Every structure is written in structure tokens, then in C-alpha cells.
Amino acid sequence: MPNDPVTPGGSPTPYDAQLPEVTYPKTIVGQPALVTGAASGIGKATALGLARAGADVVVNYDGDAAPAEDVAHQIEAMGGRAIAIMADVSKEDDVTAMFAKAVDHFGTLHIVVSNAGLQRDSPFEQMTLEQWNMVIGVNLTGQFLCARAATREFKRRGVDAKLSVAAGKIICMSSVHQEIPWAGHANYASSKGGVMLLMKSIAQELAPHRIRVNSVAPGAIRTPINTSAWSTPEAYAELMRLVPYKRIGEPDDIARAVAWLASDAADYITGATLFVDGGMTLYPGFATGG
Ligand code: BGC
């Protein structure tokens, strides 16, 4: 079933019709997974996708509980197990309490997807320290705190060969902006550049413990974070100048990549960034110039 495209300006784009069938092979059955920022957007699709692939899911949220509870109920309606847990990932005590609750509920965790992220855009000169700290706090410090808590749990438990050949999998949600500089978004690009070397450094450190650490780097995905980039036909056309594959990404494009990276099918992959961006990182301007 194609996912739920919200088409710009209400009319279908030529590409929505070509969205691939969304299927999730049952590759992570019984593995408890925690997804941060799972009440909306990419996190929500990832929580649902991991559940379809067989995982039990912790749906993390910060703020209003109702959308996260709804995601958890959708998972239960598919026959899966889920629990919604509140935590601000930038706060150490919140993260500690969330992991304790998750382990208490599901016994352990095998997969942690550090997805929670936000933007506070501003011309550089006007960027406030609060805007800077907020973005670094959630997007980078949040990933540090969640990866550290995941590592402690994975090492405590070790490999459970009934479920996976790895002791655990950490997947960081990065962005094409770990590579592409982004005027007006210095805080965001810095946070994602930081995620890249956080991910690689801990991948190197944790590999001997059979903990795999990888990133998924989305391009432009149809979510609330970037509505202004796709919600009018003009904006959509402008966006397509940056996307060689000529369609916006859907949250499920990301969720399927995460589900695969989390599975033993990707067991020899660690320290990698999987760009899921329709070619956005291919210097689209050079298609006709240079
Ligand atoms: C940002 C989006 C943006 C996309 C491509 C993402 O990381 O959150 O706002 O549309 O990168 O530029």
C-alpha cells in the first residue's frame, strides 16, 4: 500500500503514483526497539516500520502524549507491542529514566534509533545562544545521551543469539546537512556534522563489543519540520531543483532504511552513513554546468 502522500497544493505530483510498495520483511522479530521523537514525521514512520518488521517498540515523545499514544495504539492494532514514554532527550535524567522504564517494560533493548531532532533557523548574525543551544542540545547532546544509555544496556546484556548476532544496534538520524553546508541553519548543520563524527567514533569504539552504530541521512522528506519546502506547488518545484530523483522523500523511505540497517542482514555494516536523499548530495547544480 503506498503511504499517505500529502501532495503539494492538493494535486498529485507525477511521482507520487510511482512510490514503491511499502513492505517490511520480518527481520527483527521480538527485538525491543526505542525510537526517539516518534510521535510524528520520520520517527513515527520508523516506529511503525520497525513494528511491521516485528520489533516491540518504545515510542518516545516530548510534549503532548496523545500523538505518541496513538502511534503505540496503531502498533498494538497490528498485533505488536508498544509503549509511549515521555523524555526530553537533551536532559540526562529524562534519558536515564526513559531507558530504565523501557528495560523494565520489555526486559532489554536491541535497537535504539536516535531520531529526535529540531530546527531553529536564523540568519547567522541574529542567531541567539538559545537557538544554538536548543538545536545542539536535542540533535547532538540528545544523540550522545541516548547512544550512551543504549551502549550500557547492550553491554550489560551481550549477544542474545536467539534474537540477533549483534549485541545491539544504534542508528543515528543524521541529515544530508552532515555534508552540505546550510546558510541560515548553522546550528542545525553543526549538530548533524557533530552526529557524523560521534557516530563514527563510537562505531570504532564499540565494534569489538558487537555493537553496530550507523547513521541514516535523509534528504528532503515530507514531514512537519520542512512544510514550507514542499507545501505549495512553487516551493515543491524549487525543491525539485535540488533533488535529481525528482520526488520528495516520504517518511517510509527512511523507515525502511532504518529497519534494514537494524537487521542482521546489515550485520557487517558499522560506522556507515546511508544517504536516503534522491541524490541531493550529488551536487545537482553540476548536472548541467561545471
Ligand atoms: C532538514 C529539512 C530539509 C532537508 C533537506 C533536513 O535535514 O531537516 O528541513 O528539507 O534536510 O535540505
Test site for ligand 1: of 176, 250, 276, most ligand atoms within 8 A of the Cβ: 176
Domain residue ranges of the chain, discontinuous segments joined by +: 33-276
- 288: exposed, middle or buried (C-beta count within 10 Å: 0-12, 13-18, 19+)? exposed
What are the 10-residue block averages of pLDDT along the chain, 290 residues in total? Answer: 40 55 91 98 98 98 98 97 98 98 98 98 98 98 99 98 98 98 98 99 98 99 94 93 95 97 98 98 93
| Burial 181-203, CB ≥16 within 10 A → b, else e | ebeebbbbbbbbbbbbebbbebb
> Which cell is 244 given?
535529481
> Which cell is 282 given?
550529488
Place of cell 544509555: 149
Cα–Cα distance list, 290 to 65, 126, 147, 223, 245 (Å): 50, 34, 41, 33, 20
How much is the pLDDT for 23? 85
CA dist 28 and 188 (Å) reads 32
Question: What is the Å distance from ligand 1's center to 188 Cα?
Answer: 9
How much is the pLDDT for 211? 99
Element (H, E) at 205: helix 186-206
The model's pTM is: 0.94
Helix/strand/coil (H, E, C) string of 106-148?
HCCCCEEEECCCCCCCCCHHHCCHHHHHHHHHHHHHHHHHHHH
CATH superfamily of this structure's domain 33-276: NAD(P)-binding Rossmann-like Domain (3.40.50.720)
Mark whether 188 is an active-site residue.
yes
Pocket of ligand 1 (CB under 6 A): 119, 175-177, 219-220, 225-226, 229
Question: Is the torsion defined by CA of 39, 41, 42, 48 positive or negative?
Answer: positive
> Which cell is 269 given?
555494516
